[in-house]
Amino acid sequence: MTVNEKISALRTLMKQHELYAYYIGTADPHNSEYIADHFRSRAFMSGFAGSAGTLVVTLDQALLWVDGRYHIQAAKDVKDSEIILMKMGAPGVPKTLDWLADNLPQASKLAIAGDLHPDNEIAHMALSLSRKDISLVTDLDLVDEIWEDRPPLPQGKVKSHPLKYAGQSTADKISELRTQMKDDLADAAFYVGLDDIMWLMNLRGEDIPGNPVALSYALIEKEKTSLFINLNNLEAGVVETLAEQGVTLAPYDSVREALSELEADRIVLDRRRVSRSLVEALPKDSKVIVKNDYLQVMKAKLNDIQQKSQLEAGKRDSAYVTSYLYFVKHKAVELGHNEYSVTEELERLRSQDPLYIEASFSTISAYGANAAMMHYQAGEDSYAELEARGLYLVDCGAQMWDGTTDITRTIALGELTQAEKEAYTLTLRSHIALASLPFLKGSSGVALDAVARSVVWRENFDYKCGTGHGVGYVAGVHEGPQRLTASTEAGKQTFEPGMVITIEPGVYLEGILGVRLENDYIVVHSDFETNSQGDVFYSFKPFTFVPFDRDAILVEKMTAGELSWLNDYHAKVREVLLPLLTAEAVKEYVLRETEAFPLEV
């Protein structure tokens, strides 16, 4: 069926259930950012395959809300359908909930999946719509009736994550978690986040591409820990290892029954992550203690073993990415590569690593104007040919047993225009502004975001995305609670030593060019750490060691301080990469790219 035919079929079912509107978010029961194909209802119904977005279908309209990362891509994906694109953040575009409150008729019905969307989200929606007596129906899945070839639930294998990389046993993590439960007078804690659960149990899975996780739930009581997971998918030895750590196994689909039978007066859970249907499954006399996930903060700060492992993974992947950049810059055009075909070389390089698992997300390989789309995806039948001119952007990452990476570089494939060089230099200066900054203990993500963003603000420009995100440890490449964002709510987490963050400002000019420069960093104590007033300072230490492209830099636009940071960074790149590289041509490439710039310009 076409998108319009799917929408028409959905409306037929809506009329049968007396619904005026149907809300389809990007959601699964685990509040995951990236979801398994089985749960991709919004992509199926709209034709827009991006990782975030909300589709609302009413009896006479269909609207798709997407954030700034996807404005350009979504416009292309829905142009042949009846869907109206709502560009979030653009002038005059209301938020989804505001639009619903203003446009749904009095006393009408709206359906939203209660088994997928968090309890807090549904409660907030119900409150907002209550002024018009709009009722929510949370127990329907009408898309399933349309989706004839819907993919089944994933059945990936589940393996133990070795202690030599995890650095802490499952039993010790559970003990630490129970200490926090005791402080809150809680009898139980319940978790749905797959990144949380895999970290707690020292497991890794294959259920979501790019994310080494397995569909699961975890229930921690005072004397019992239960893991709800597909028991058929556990590899040899996992059952015994978990038993040794005090973990009891149960079928994945038995979680609702277990919650309904729970004997706990007080249970800790995060209503922002746990679905409405699972909250409703709890005994009516249970009191929910609304807390942020203990596990999110616990795992955000890497222990010493994790830090050492992540650094080694970052070094090795930097060598693979640098070798790839050499190939793209000096060989790809001559060999007739396009955006899609060229990335085979990156996978070939990484697959040599004995600890390599998979890419941490679908590689963004974008040439010229395509790079203006932040999450652009070239395809086997949709790509641009590479030419010996202009800018090429690659945003890529790796999952390895000892760490997760996320790296973006933009490089010159030949002669550049003045505008291309200015965009590159502005992005580099924005990156350096934050990467070089010592910052006061207690600084939040929203404050630090402004440091990088202020550089482009001075040029009357802004990039419509965050400056950076947390990176999971052999887990989701986007993982909180730490973020660099202009949103005061999302960026409220203060930064602490051991937290990993990307710094990735950019310049995006629709139909012209896109530049992004991204490194992974870890928060560490600053060299001077304290001052005479007793203030404590932190700074960023890189986990990424890939040269920036000197052919794209306008040296005269940079300050001596910026060039000094760049020279120091490139000296470290040389130190890290040269022992890891075997090809002489790539070594020569690194030596050229990292040659120090004169500080007097």
Question: Could you tell me which of 508, 364, 288 has the C-alpha nearest to residue 51?
Answer: 364
Q: In this structure, are 130 and 228 located in the same domain?
A: no
Give the domain-ending residue among 146, 173, 192. Answer: 146
Three-class DSSP labels, 341-366: CCHHHHHHHHCCCCCEEEECCCCEEE
What is the reported pLDDT for 532?
77
Report whether pLDDT(528) > 80. no
56 lies in which domain range? 3-146
Q: In this structure, are 483 and 535 located in the same domain?
A: yes
Q: In this structure, are 436 and 464 located in the same domain?
A: yes
Three-class DSSP labels, 229-268: ECHHHECCCHHHHHHHCCEEEEEHHHHHHHHHCCCCCEEE
Q: In this structure, are 113 and 185 located in the same domain?
A: no
Q: In this structure, are 369 and 512 located in the same domain?
A: yes
At 226, which helix (H) or strand (E)? strand 225-229
Instruction: Return the DSSP state at 300.
Output: H
What tens digit of pLDDT does each residue of 10-26 get? 999 999 999 999 999 99
Question: Could you tell me which of 301, 354, 336 has the C-alpha nearest to residue 480?
Answer: 301
Q: In this structure, are 329 and 295 located in the same domain?
A: no
What tens digit of pLDDT does each residue of 147-159 get? 999 999 999 999 9
Tokens of 193: 């986040």
Confirm whether 450 is domain-assigned: yes
Q: In this structure, are 142 and 183 located in the same domain?
A: no
Confirm whether 210 is domain-assigned: yes
Cα dihedral across residues 148, 149, 150, 152: positive or negative: positive
Distance of alpha carbon 250 from alpha carbon 288, whole angstroms: 23
Give the domain-ending residue among 93, 116, 146. Answer: 146
Predicted structure pTM score: 0.91
Q: In this structure, are 233 and 366 located in the same domain?
A: no
Q: In this structure, are 351 and 449 located in the same domain?
A: yes
Tokens of 448: 């630090």
Give the domain-ending residue among 251, 274, 299. Answer: 299
Q: In this structure, are 142 and 190 located in the same domain?
A: no
Distance of alpha carbon 553 from alpha carbon 412, whole angstroms: 10
What is the reported pLDDT for 217?
98
**Domains: count for the chain:** 3
What tens digit of pLDDT does each residue of 265-314 get? 999 999 999 999 999 999 999 999 987 778 988 999 999 999 999 999 99
Q: In this structure, are 387 and 503 located in the same domain?
A: yes
Q: In this structure, are 325 and 249 located in the same domain?
A: no
CATH number assigned to the domain comprising residue 237: 3.40.350.10
Contact at 8 Å (CB) between 508 and 368? no
Report whether pLDDT(192) > 60. yes
